[in-house]
Homo-oligomer: A and B are copies of this chain.
Amino acid sequence: MSNTKENQLWDLLKEQSAYKEAIALTHWDMRTKIPKKGVEQRSEVVGFLAEKLHQLETSDKLKELLDELKDTVTDDVMKRTIEESLETYERSRKIPNDEFKEYVMLQSKSESIWQEAREKADFSLFQPYLEKLVDYNKKFANYWGYKENIYDALLHNYEPGVTTKTLDDVFPKLRKSLTDLLDKINSSNVEPDPSALKASFPKSQQEAFSVEILKRMGYDFEAGRLDDTIHPFAISLNPNDVRITTRYDEEDFRMAVFGTIHEGGHALYEQNIDKKLTNTPLATGTSMGIHESQSLFWENFLGRNETFWQSHYELFKKYAPEHFESVDVDTFYKAVNEVKPSFIRIEADELTYPLHIMIRYELEKALINDEIQVKDLPHLWNEKMVEYLGIEPPSDREGVLQDIHWAGGDFGYFPSYALGYMYAAQFKGVMDKEMNINQIIQSGNYDSIRNWLTENIHQYGKMKRPLEIIEDVTKEQLNPDYLVDYLTEKYSGIYKF
């Protein structure tokens, strides 16, 4: 009997998994291949498939099976699958169907209004939509419930286990360290010269170099592919089909090269999830923060590492234009690591990046807690930019309107970028005790790095929750010191302080 029920559950999980793959494929196609006129009809197809998946995840039949099996199953994977499915069921069911539908329509409408508002640098167009989005999110947060801060209920969607309190303990300390470093850099006499990187670099050559690095990272091209897109992303259809995209700027190779390494880091996580989790809801990264730790690990600790460029500069020059023959590797390394406050988050250097995140976190936390109003966002944003980064955006296009997240209703998402960065530095702290990372990077064979990540992180998928991973691997809690130490060491070297 119990066996039959388990089979019934497996069948339902496989159905969910089939819809998820079909949805992922339609998304991938819409962002990389779809012809212009196909978009309208496709949006309906995606909506339909998403609704079907939602119905499955919230069906009475599923709930009954989960309840019947939750105390009797012995298999670990099945136990955790049931927990995860029950949580999805309960969170989804707490939102009334009609409100959910209205919200989905609002999201879609808001994204197109946001696009227009950003183009026109006119926040007032977006304001009424953002107000509604904030209201819905407060309402949903109350449906879901929380212990201390209403914002916790939203954080849970992206980084379960992390609370507002965690962030408020960590961020001010991190901010202080970063702004201190920034002051030192600003008073330094060293001036990296990013103009040294400017050379017309054919797309096909940038691609060839990126592919070479991806292969060395261990990205499996038999279980994935690399395509062009406007906004780079990694997407998992299943652990055997994890695709990445990148964007080529022929006048600036950094976009494609660092972007590919970043997305490659995400993809390695998904490709190396234990295959026994396939067709369960556990066959994906455990949280946004842990995911970002993987992409940033590779992008920063490999891609922006001095040893990496010292030992790979000849390889790079094989693909790069002749211009680089006259750029020595030291100039090159300093140029790709220039620290300079700028307006756009996704173009920020690795030192100022977390400051961009904190601004967003503080504002959205205050919004959800009714401490500020949507209409005040533009000037509050600009004030914080001046306070943290010392520069003021010339318009809301380079300010509060730059990111799509809020237009999509994603409140609680931004902190995971900074968390991921701190996690990555913490992981690196542990690795440093077990191996000589620079020596491995120098060898050009990164297998032992990837194997370590797979063994400690990737293989588990959602079997372990994010804080479980952090504690199991690092034997401590979230600790920003590792990141500060890394940045201090690196930038005191570059800027000589």
Contact = CB atoms under 8 A, between A and B. Distances in A.
Interface of A: 14-15, 18, 21-22, 25-26, 29, 33-38, 40-42, 44-45, 48-49, 220-225, 237-238, 240-241, 243, 278
A36 B225 CA distance: 10
A38 B238 contact: yes
Contacts of A38: 223, 237-238, 240-241
A121 to B, nearest CB: 30
Contact of A21 (B41, B238, B243): B41
Contacts of A40: 240
A45 B222 CA distance: 19
Contact of A37 (B18, B37, B240): B240
B278 A35 contact: no
A420 B188 CA distance: 78
Contacts of A223: 35-38
14 contacts: A21-B41, A22-B26, A34-B241, A35-B223, A35-B224, A36-B222, A36-B223, A37-B222, A38-B223, A38-B238, A38-B240, A41-B237, A41-B240, A41-B278
- Among A21, A38, A41, the one with the most B-chain Cβ atoms within 10 Å of its Cβ is A38
What are the 3 closest A-B residue pairs judged by CB atoms, nearest first? A38-B241, A37-B240, A18-B48
Contacts of A220: 37
A40 B49 CA distance: 21
B225 A41 contact: no
A14 B225 contact: no
A18 B44 CA distance: 8
Given A29-B29, A40-B240, A240-B40, A21 B35 contact: no
A241 B42 contact: yes
A225 B29 CA distance: 12
B35 A18 contact: no
Contacts of A240: 35, 37-38, 40-41
A32 to B, nearest CB: 9
A306 to B, nearest CB: 34
A18 B222 contact: no
Given A18-B49, A22-B49, 20 more contacts: A14-B48, A18-B44, A18-B45, A18-B48, A22-B22, A22-B45, A25-B26, A25-B29, A29-B29, A35-B222, A35-B224, A35-B225, A35-B240, A36-B222, A36-B223, A37-B220, A37-B223, A37-B240, A38-B237, A38-B240
Given A35-B222, A35-B241, A222-B37, A42 B21 contact: yes
A225 B33 contact: yes
Contacts of A225: 33, 35
A298 to B, nearest CB: 20
Contact of A41 (B29, B33, B222, B241): B241
A38 B224 CA distance: 8
